Amino acid sequence: MRLSLRPRTQPEVNLTSLIDVVLLLLIFFMVSTSFVKQSQIAIRLPEADSAPVVEEPPQQIDIMITETGVYLINNRELINNRPETIRNALQKVSAGDNSLPLTISADANAKHQHVVTAMDVAGRLGFTQISIATVNDPVE
């Protein structure tokens, strides 16, 4: 018996599906990777000097009146609530410039007379830009 030998066929490897998977992985990694370009710049930060502090004149004057009748001019408490004290403090803070805007902020429970006194003193000094505001107690 004679057997015929068939030529052996070489097995083929189909690379199409392998290339598809590799391309999908490549696209996935490209999309999910964030590209950060870090630049290095030499920065020389300034150093603070201990120069004398120059007090600038205020741009506005605030008079606060508390519930107990204590006057604060630009957050500095006055020693008493006499009109002469208020006048002297306003002259010192304004340095004679009565064109500055002046705001009178009073506690909602402050007496009306305290507000009128502050307005009267400011008016006698020549202030014309006077605003009035009330301050309520913060809700706890």
Over 90: is that where the pLDDT of 25 sits?
yes
Question: Which residues, including other chains, have CB under 8 Å from residue 70's CB and lie 6 or more apart?
Answer: 77, 78, 81
Of the candidates 101, 110, 116, the one whose C-alpha atom is nearest the C-alpha of residue 65 is 110
Is 45 contained in some domain?
A: no
Q: What is the pTM of this model?
A: 0.54
Query: How confident is the model over 65-78, as a mean pLDDT?
Result: 88
Query: Can you give the CATH number for the domain in which 107 is found?
Result: 3.30.420.270
Q: How many structural domains compose the chain? A: 1
- For residue 21, being part of any structural domain is answered with no
**Of 101, 73, 100, nearest to 89 (Cα)?**
73
Determine, yes or no, domain membership for 79. Answer: yes
Q: Does some domain include residue 88?
A: yes
Q: Is the pLDDT of residue 53 over 70?
A: no
Token digits for 74?
A: 């630009």
Q: How far apart are CA 122 and CA 126, in angstroms?
A: 7
Domain that holds residue 68: 61-135
Cα separation of 116 and 106, whole Å? Answer: 11
Question: How far is it, in rounded angstroms, from Cα 134 to Cα 136?
Answer: 7
Find the distance separating the first CA and the last CA of the chain, reported in whole Å: 110
Do 130 and 122 meet the contact criterion of CB atoms below 8 Å apart?
Answer: yes
Residue 12 lies in a domain: no
Which residue bears the tokens 């370009």? 37
Residue 118 lies in a domain: yes
114-139 pLDDT, tens digit each = 889 988 988 888 888 888 887 665 54
The Cα–Cα gap between 85 and 74 comes to 14
